[in-house]
Amino acid sequence: MSNASLIVSIVRKGWGSTVLEASVNAGARGGTVLFGRGAGINEQEKIFGMSIEPEKEVVLTVAYSDQIDTILTEIVRAAQLDDTGKGIAFVVPVDRVVGVAHFMRQSPRGKKPERRKK
């Protein structure tokens, strides 16, 4: 499946559901929220003189490439990603998708996708 892309959104703790909701409202069929920690120039926090790494939520959203701009725009708006230190989102091309039935059954234009020959 060469017409899919992955949006990776890394946001502040508690904002994963906001990103997920925004992406679904913009046309995505869902996503996966993972938890992580990160450190960056805008995230240096100290408690009693000790540096701590802020917790993050990583949202993975696979969608058809022609939907990516709309979904990404909504994620940026909802998660306030234009503001410094609020998070980051980026898009990665996806070569193949397996195990996700709605991608396997139907292309975005209603046609069955061509099967690759081995």
Q: pLDDT tens-digit profile of 21-68?
A: 999 999 999 999 999 876 666 556 666 665 556 789 999 999 999 999
pTM beyond cutoff 0.85: no
Q: How confident is the model at residue 96 (pLDDT cuts 50, 70, 90)?
A: confident
CA distances 51 to 39, 46, 76, Å, are: 10, 4, 28
| Cα distance from N-terminal residue to C-terminal residue, the chain | 14
- State the SS3 of 5-49: EEEEEEEECCCHHHHHHHHHHCCCCCCEEEEEECCCCCCCEEECC
Most confident of 28-42, 70-84, 90-104: 70-84
CA-CA distance, 67 to 83, in Å (whole number)? 24
φ, ψ at 70 (rounded to 5°)? -65, -45
Could you tell me which residue, 75 or 43, shows the higher pLDDT? Answer: 75
Q: pLDDT tens-digit profile of 1-18?
A: 458 999 999 999 999 999
Could you tell me which residue, 112 or 99, shows the higher pLDDT? Answer: 99
